[in-house]
A and B are shown apart, each in its own frame.
Chain A
Amino acid sequence: MTDQVVTPAPPDGAAADTRRPLRRGRRGGRRRSITRRLVTLPFLLLGMTLLMFLISRFLPADPAVAFLGNNGADNQQAVDAFNAKYGLDRPLWEQYWIYLDRLLHGDLGTSISTSRPVADELAAAFPATLELAVAALLVSLLIGIPLGILAAARRSSLLDRLTGGFTLLGVSMPPFVLALLALQVLYLRLGWVAGPGRLDPFLDPPPTVTGVMTVDALLAGQPAVALDVLHHLVLPAVVLGIIHGAFFARVVRSTMVDALRGDFVRTARGKGLPGRLIVGRHAFRFALIPTLSLVGLTFGELFAGAITVETITGWPGVGRYMYNAATKLDFPAVMAGTLLIGVAYVLVNLVVDLLYGVADPRVEEAS
């Protein structure tokens, strides 16, 4: 799994000289690395399930009480039935074995709080999170990349200092604070964005095809519904986009500053290429690798870290679903949600790793 931003060495003359003779060996190394990750993936997921299982079982609270309530749990028949239904009356190892067995058969269990199959509920929530994650990623790229490039190109200017302030604020501000602020200002005070939820209450949701409501609305020939979903998407996407955009701006600026000092930039300048071309094509290409690496991390974090933002803005995705489940000790839902996020995180980063080779074959050496 990618766990840090990969910053390649500057493409100076020496690096270019070593590229060809090493290519075959690097490709093999890359393939082995990816194979190794695919092989370790099941063990990683198994570890996740074990960890989540143990955490859920050692909480100082009784799930039967959480489900039945203060009055309902006085009914011993109900407590016994609940424990039998969720296997809580069996030894711990047996509970885990049953859980794994069901998991391998695609059964994520039944939600304690809603009595519905967790797989169905996650299948409904996941596209909403995916929709938000993509939108937030776009916003963060649209904010972060231009800001980073401009700040690097105009080092020590007012814009550079403002970008520095923005990135500092963005990386240090907790998402829930920004979400609450945005809700207060953009929705409650100014009314510029739509309120909580995914769709105006007076509009009927489009028929579910992909679960991604903008896409489904367009497929159903309902552009007004698609636009309304976009309208509702603005608030959570901007909040998440600002936070992650700050990271992008910081990384792009830092890498661009290094690139603009490189020999290849000096050469390009010496050849009389326009500044815009040097910055936009030559130097930015150098900054693309760490940006791509950050895209993978960010996309994974958007799945895992959107819990507070989804909760505050009422976006009915996996984050809000897990928050609701956690507050009711609905451990089948929490465990399944965690597993889903983990899988998504790992797969996204795997895809990003594969894309490195496309963006710059020399990065294969780093693997």
Chain B
Amino acid sequence: MRRVIPLLAIATLLVAAGGCGNDSKSGDAGDARSKTLVYGVNLKSQGPWDPHVGAVGLDRVVNRAAYDTLVAYAGTDYAKVVPDLAKEWTVAPDAKTFTFTLDPAATFATGRTVTAEDVRWSFTRLKNLAGPPSYLAGPIESVTAPDPATVVVTLKSPDVSFLRQFVDGNFSVLDKETATANGATDAADAAKTDTATNWLSANSAGSGPYKIESWSAGSRLVMVKNPKAWRPTAFFEKIILQDVPTPDAQLAALKRGEIDLTQALGKSLLEPLESESRLQVAGSPGLTWFLLGMTRAPKTDPNLAKQQVQEAIHHALDYEGIGQLAAGVQQWYGMIPPFIPGGVAEQEAPKQDVDKAKQLLAAAGLSGGFDTELCTTTSTDHQPSALDLAQKVQADLKNVGIRVKIDGQENSAFLTKYRAAECKMVLTIDGPAFPDPSHIVPYLPDGARALRMGWSSENPGWDGAGYSAAAKEALTQTDETRRVQLWHDIAAGMNTDGPWVGLASVPYSFAADARIKGLDQATNQVTLLDIAALRRD
């Protein structure tokens, strides 16, 4: 008996600590529990919460809760832009000038009215901070505030779709007075002189339904209801984003009621949940997707740069198999996904035809196949991972004789190589800031992505000139039907022999306690989750 005394002592201590912990939990929860929403999520790579600096997934959720934008989408109807801080707007015929009239009722959490100067200052700061999302403001030539209620944004070149850019949370409007008092500036050297990001991670200066109360990096973010919200829609008094690192732990915490909501659970965890009455699942294909790229530069890979070879690869891929790699993955039918206006429909989808692919390779003088290399990231932040898809592509191409060596690297190393245009083929995880068909511009000749694959106006290949002309027209087209059709035709055309293949969307899913209401309406591809739309029974 004496031998086990020490072990018993340890066990007693541990159980005592555990038991007492549980008691304290129930004792302190009280009434505040029902008015508090705990959102369990991996906070590993999240923050800072400065809307002009953050550009990762969860930033969209926090931005939407604490800030407002000029315009918004109506739920998941991405064809329609609706008022937010701006009650009305016009787009000039030159497709370069956007004029917004602010809603006079809009106020910040301080009670101060939102003015055109706040908007001008915010957009200028976004650009001059030179942070991760600053590229979004790159096309802006100027922002002016001719009167307190009017904002005029002028672009460097025509782009009617830019109106939708103002939906993005990075274009959130900050209270200039509060932000500047805490170190923010819109000066040209803001990248060096602005010191507000730290403050804006533990506080906020917006007009949204919530305010940031505290932030413990990688651990916990607390938001509280904005008592002076100009649109008092929030139900919960407090929102806690709590770090729960793994999907297994998130699910266990959800089942035990330790958290109310979680996200991004994988296939094996999500499927059994659908039959559980105490829990609910909602979500949609996200604005993040997998793309396959092929070089157009003969010096990088003379075989891959041939038209017949790129057409053969389009025929060699097993698109349906790719769509079945994981639950919630939505197969693409072209470079514009189906849920975006102008998206390529299922009936237009490319079909796998191995014989045709082999014929095309033979026509290219490569009946014995050839060796090539595919760069990708080894990141496992998404399910399926890019490596999963790369292996599927490798297997499909092997069937037609193309021997692919996968060069998987840590994400930053992969991006460095990809951006240096050193990849023959690439399988990348990508995505735009807002759902509009114009997102394919970077993939067309001279676009940032296209240049990495050697596709430019100097090397347009057999199809580049046509796509460039169509894109130029689409960017200035104010007739929405015509605009959308132009983008659609480009995407559908690239299905034949373009250097890009849209493979699938990464699913974005939420699981929540069944007593949380409004989850279906609160999820969308832009802000991911509108917390203010959630209630508890």
Contacts and interface: CB of A to CB of B under 8 A. Distances in A.
B93 to A, nearest CB: 29
A194 B18 contact: yes
A143 B13 CA distance: 13
Nearest to B40: A201
Interface in A194-210: 194-198, 200-203, 205
B130 A77 contact: yes
B147 interface: no
A114 B201 contact: yes
Contact of A192 (B18, B45, B201): B18
B256 A121 contact: no
Interface in A215-235: 224-225, 227-228, 230-234
A188 interface: yes
A70 B259 contact: no
B516 interface: no
A59 to B, nearest CB: 7
Given A146-B6, A230-B21, A328-B45, A195 B412 contact: no
Given A65-B416, A70-B430, A329-B412, A159 B132 contact: no
Contact of A124 (B27, B201, B216, B409): B216
A235 to B, nearest CB: 10
Nearest to A150: B3
Contacts of B298: none
Nearest to B414: A61
Contact of A82 (B6, B130, B216, B430): B130
Interface in A71-118: 71-75, 77-78, 80-82, 84-85, 113-117
Interface in B40-70: 44-45, 47-48, 50, 53, 55
Contact of A195 (B218, B253, B416): B253
Contacts of B442: 74
Interface stretch (A42-50, A294-302, A308-316): A308-316
Interface string B1-29: 00100110110001101101111110111
B41 to A, nearest CB: 11
Interface stretch (A6-14, A33-41, A319-327): A319-327
Contacts of A66: 411-412, 415
A146 B11 CA distance: 14
Contacts of B32: 202
Contact of A113 (B45, B198, B245, B413): B45
Contacts of A187: 249, 252
Nearest to B432: A71
Interface residues of A, number: 77
Interface stretch (B236-244, B313-321, B454-462, B520-528): B236-244
A174 interface: no
B17 A201 contact: no
B245 A314 contact: yes
A67 interface: yes
Nearest to B22: A231
A314 B243 contact: yes
B192 interface: yes
Contact of A316 (B17, B219, B258): B219
B132 A224 contact: no
B36 A202 contact: yes
A72 B135 contact: yes
Contact of B9 (A142, A191, A194): A142
A201 B220 contact: yes
Contact of B138 (A75, A143, A311): A75
Interface string A126-157: 00000000000001001100110010001000
A202 B28 contact: yes
A62 interface: yes
A72 B132 contact: yes
B258 A195 contact: yes
A124 B198 CA distance: 15
A198 B410 CA distance: 30
Contact of A70 (B15, B36, B45, B415): B415
Given A66-B412, A67-B132, A82-B130, A188 B249 contact: yes
A259 to B, nearest CB: 19
A195 B45 contact: no
A80 B131 CA distance: 11
Interface string B415-443: 11101000000001010010000000010
Contacts of A28: none
Contacts of A316: 216, 218-219, 243
B293 interface: no
Nearest to A147: B6
Given A115-B197, A202-B32, A142 B243 contact: no
A201 B240 contact: yes
B252 to A, nearest CB: 4
14 contacts: A66-B412, A70-B419, A75-B130, A75-B134, A80-B130, A115-B50, A146-B7, A183-B249, A195-B256, A231-B22, A233-B17, A234-B18, A238-B14, A314-B249
